[in-house]
Chain A
Amino acid sequence: MQTMVEARNLRKTYKRADGSTIEAVKGVDLDILQGEIFSLLGPNGAGKTTTISMISGLVAPTEGDAEIGGYSITRQPMEAKRLMGFVPQEIALYPELSARQNLSFFGRMYGLGGKSLSRRVDELLEFVDLADRQSDRIDTFSGGMKRRVNLAAGLLNSPPLIYMDEPTVGIDPQSRRRILDTVKMLRDEQDMTVLYTTHLMEEAQELSNRVGIMDHGEIIAMGTQAELTQQVGEEDRLEIMTGAQNVGEALIGSMQQEIAGVTRVLFNPPEQIGDNGSESTPARLTVFAKRGRTALPQIIQTLDAAGIDIQSVEVREPDLEAVFLALTGRALRD
């Protein structure tokens, strides 16, 4: 299959106001194939937006380059940009203008005009199901509606490639469902190549042909979902929510040694979250085990004996979350 995006050794170092520097992206290699949905999955601050900004020509890489359909984004930006659509993480629309005015303006910037412009705008308004609200100002729209116009604006030039940076952030489940279906439709019905970023494992899992897992400015694993889950082996993952007690090193050690099938145990103590530390995440014990269901009774017994209060237990087949956990020792959603 043809390669649509080929990034080599992309690096971006930002200067902060206080003079210090931050390496937001540390040498990323990326190949996105024609006609696939490729997801960049990573927690907040992983460097997803910075990576997308570099391969869309928004931000100049400190080092490295990317080719879009064979055109270098740094040396032939015009040709490269003509091949791509861009749906930024922010709602990049003029709030004072209507949905139609926004789309018409950006369409004109792609060189569309007259009948072909208004036909394309009609099509897209229909596509994102906002034809009836087209004359309303963007600042009167709900979050989900704004997201849909934002997406439509990235499709104006009918590009073969589209970047979508967390297009479902901050919207209700129905709107999210709609956008996910739209993304699949773009690939399946219009043969588009999609680069999709998210910090939600479920989205990456549902959409992607291939996934790149990103953390701290690096792609730490890349491949199809099957390839990735293979990396953590055939192990099941048991998520055990516990009470406030601390699960000590000794207990973890004895579980790993004494319970058949258990390979690894991780403990995440409760964490204060929210603005004023008003909420806290529950403490979580993650146990990796071959044939997890068989090992479960003995695990519960051991914890019980140690006086650990068990609130819930979940057995998970290998998934992307497990891969991230196995590679970083942290949960994706933290």
Chain B
Amino acid sequence: MRSILTIILNDLKIYSSQRGNLVGLLVIPVLLTVVIGWSLGRIGGGGPTRLRVDLIDLDGSDMSAQLIEELRAANDALVLCPPDNDADDYCRLEDEPLDMDRAIERARSGRTSALIAIPAGYAAALNDFQTVTIDYYSRSDPMQPGPVLQSLNAVLQRTSSASMTKGVSSALLDNLTNAVTLPALDGETRDSFLNTIYHRALQLSTYQPPAVLFRVVDANEDESGIDNGFNQSAPGMGSLYVMFTVLGGMAVLLRERRQWTLQRLMALPLSRAQILGAKIGVYFTLGMIQFFIVFAVGAAFGMDFGSSPPALLATMAAFVLCITALTFALAPWIKSEGQANGLVLLLSLSLAPLGGAWWPLEIVPEFMQTIGHLSPVAWAMDAFQDLIWYDGGFTEVIPEIAVLMAAAAVLFIIGIRSFKYD
């Protein structure tokens, strides 16, 4: 055991004596984690402060104009296109007319947050106390209404309750004129009376606190919880750089064989298990150090570590072990250091995005999520998510850890069997 530790310490000393290694282990991962963490925070944390919303008014009535005004008043972040377009063409209409088809396409492609279409006959329907449907197109999940839908709902709620009040008043008026034998009202007086009621009701409900609340949150002010970009970037960059660092061991093993230091070790009174154990220990240790470095950056930026440090450590260890095993399984087949370095790049840069190290796997199509789970990164990221985002404990990450450990076991068997002593 003492000789294993001596070898590990010696190899770490050699590793750190090479300046390039320190840049790879420390400088680049730290910079990338900061940049990506900060960027993800900007995008996912709060969202932009202005929302592009297409609006098509097929009614063109006073009532629809009023609805639009209400909508504007309800949320000043909405930029209604085309009416509220600015000189910079924030609406990106490029001076083309906005018809229904184009607007639907814009909403579908995500260029606008939503499309609100007021149908022809909106005012007439409201006047006759009939149901009217306002079409709302958006890519966002209707179960989790975004700010646009929330605003629209609030406005429509008020409009329909005002309309209902008007309807109730109208029936009341009919009953009253019949029951109390008041002189029959002429049409114009009646309409004017009901409209006054409608507007009064609308006014009252506007001053009532709305049923649905929303606000646009500035990413910079919010550094806690799900919104912190480092909760994604630190585990993601950590996994990526663990792969760079640990898989890099393939080239080092090859170099040690070429410079005969591995052979000198083998001529010493050491068992093969000791030598192999030490070499595995070296890359496992380097991988863990890499994770700690990146997570330290996350911690400095307020990253959340969940509530189960042992489970987090176990996840890190399982992932590093899996990548270490992959290194030893591949090493015997590698012929040159150039080949090894190429393979490190190829594997790291494909397994990382595939497994969701750069962006959460939730946002990719389902079949890509399935394929992604061929990458050990996906399992690690799943576990990190359970721990960091959803505050899970050991039980939640046991399946992921089990998968990583099983893969590690299989790869180690391959690696140890084909390790060349000659």
- Chain B residues closer than 8 Å to A111, beta-carbon distance: 3
Query: Which of B82-90, B266-274, B386-394 participates in binding chain A?
Result: B266-274
A81 in contact with B263 (CB, 8 Å): no
Q: Which of B3, B263, B270 has the most CB of A within 10 A?
A: B263
CB closest chain-A residue, reference B15: A96
- Chain B residues closer than 8 Å to A244, beta-carbon distance: none
Q: Which of A58, A59, A78, A79 has the most CB of B within 10 A?
A: A58
CB distance from A159 to the nearest CB of B (A): 11
Contact A92:B14 (CB < 8 A) given known A105-B6, A108-B6: no
CB closest chain-A residue, reference B335: A17
Pick the contact of A58: B17, B263, B271 (CB < 8 A): B263
Scan B1-33; emit 1 where CB is below 8 A from any A CB, else 0.
001001100100110011000000000000000
Contact A109:B6 (CB < 8 A) given known A59-B422, A60-B422, A96-B17: yes
Pick the contact of A90: B260, B267, B422 (CB < 8 A): B260
Contact A97:B260 (CB < 8 A) given known A57-B266, A59-B422, A110-B268: no
- Chain A residues closer than 8 Å to B270, beta-carbon distance: 109
Scan B252-279; emit 1 where CB is below 8 A from any A CB, else 0.
0000000111011111111100000000
Cα-based distance from A109 to B268 in the complex (angstroms)? 7
Cα-based distance from A91 to B6 in the complex (angstroms)? 21
B367 beta carbon closer than 8 Å to chain A: no
B207 beta carbon closer than 8 Å to chain A: no
B6 in contact with A58 (CB, 8 Å): no
Pick the contact of A60: B264, B271, B421 (CB < 8 A): B421
A127 beta carbon closer than 8 Å to chain B: no
B17 in contact with A97 (CB, 8 Å): yes
Pick the contact of B268: A53, A79, A106 (CB < 8 A): A106
Pick the contact of A92: B13, B17, B261, B422 (CB < 8 A): B261
CB distance from B274 to the nearest CB of A (A): 10
CB distance from B40 to the nearest CB of A (A): 38
- Chain A residues closer than 8 Å to B18, beta-carbon distance: 96
The contact size tier of chain B is: 20 to 34
Interface residues of A in 105-146 (CB under 8 A from B): 105-106, 108-111
Scan A62-92; emit 1 where CB is below 8 A from any B CB, else 0.
0000000000000001110110101010111
- Chain A residues closer than 8 Å to B264, beta-carbon distance: 86, 88, 92, 106, 153
CB distance from A39 to the nearest CB of B (A): 20
CB distance from B264 to the nearest CB of A (A): 4
Cα-based distance from A93 to B256 in the complex (angstroms)? 9
A81 in contact with B14 (CB, 8 Å): no
B263 in contact with A97 (CB, 8 Å): no
- Chain A residues closer than 8 Å to B3, beta-carbon distance: 108-109, 111
Q: Which of A78, A84, A105, A153 has the most CB of B within 10 A?
A: A105
Scan B198-221; emit 1 where CB is below 8 A from any A CB, else 0.
000000000000000000000000
Interface residues of B in 402-422 (CB under 8 A from A): 421-422
CB distance from B317 to the nearest CB of A (A): 27
B261 in contact with A94 (CB, 8 Å): yes
B6 in contact with A81 (CB, 8 Å): no
A78 in contact with B263 (CB, 8 Å): no
Cα-based distance from A58 to B268 in the complex (angstroms)? 9
Cα-based distance from A82 to B271 in the complex (angstroms)? 12
A88 in contact with B14 (CB, 8 Å): no
Contact A88:B6 (CB < 8 A) given known A94-B14, A96-B18: no
Cα-based distance from A91 to B7 in the complex (angstroms)? 19
A78 in contact with B269 (CB, 8 Å): yes
CB closest chain-B residue, reference A101: B13
Contact A97:B14 (CB < 8 A) given known A60-B421, A109-B6: yes
Contact A91:B260 (CB < 8 A) given known A57-B266, A109-B6, A109-B270: yes
Contact A82:B260 (CB < 8 A) given known A59-B422, A60-B422, A109-B6: no
A95 beta carbon closer than 8 Å to chain B: yes
- Chain B residues closer than 8 Å to A97, beta-carbon distance: 10, 13-14, 17
CB closest chain-B residue, reference A79: B269
A88 in contact with B269 (CB, 8 Å): no
A110 in contact with B10 (CB, 8 Å): no
B259 in contact with A91 (CB, 8 Å): yes
A57 in contact with B267 (CB, 8 Å): yes
A86 in contact with B269 (CB, 8 Å): no
- Chain A residues closer than 8 Å to B260, beta-carbon distance: 88, 90-92
Cα-based distance from A168 to B130 in the complex (angstroms)? 104
- Chain B residues closer than 8 Å to A90, beta-carbon distance: 259-260, 263
A56 beta carbon closer than 8 Å to chain B: yes
Cα-based distance from A187 to B135 in the complex (angstroms)? 100
B422 in contact with A56 (CB, 8 Å): no
- Chain B residues closer than 8 Å to A82, beta-carbon distance: 269
- Chain B residues closer than 8 Å to A109, beta-carbon distance: 3, 6-7, 265, 268, 270
CB closest chain-A residue, reference B3: A109
Cα-based distance from A108 to B2 in the complex (angstroms)? 9
- Chain B residues closer than 8 Å to A153, beta-carbon distance: 264
Cα-based distance from A44 to B76 in the complex (angstroms)? 86
CB distance from A154 to the nearest CB of B (A): 9
CB closest chain-B residue, reference A97: B14
Cα-based distance from A95 to B252 in the complex (angstroms)? 13
CB closest chain-B residue, reference A137: B17
- Chain B residues closer than 8 Å to A59, beta-carbon distance: 421-422
Complex A-B: 6 CB contacts under 8 Å: A60-B421, A82-B269, A96-B14, A97-B14, A109-B7, A110-B269
Residues of chain A at the chain B interface (Cβ within 8 Å):
14, 53, 56-60, 77-79, 81-82, 84, 86, 88, 90-97, 101, 105-106, 108-111, 153
Known: A82-B269, A91-B260, A94-B14. 6 other contacts (CB 8 A): A53-B263, A58-B263, A58-B267, A81-B269, A91-B259, A96-B17
Residues of chain B at the chain A interface (Cβ within 8 Å):
3, 6-7, 10, 13-14, 17-18, 259-261, 263-271, 421-422
Please give me the 4 A-B residue pairs with the lowest Cβ-Cβ distance, nearest first: A92-B260, A90-B260, A92-B264, A81-B269
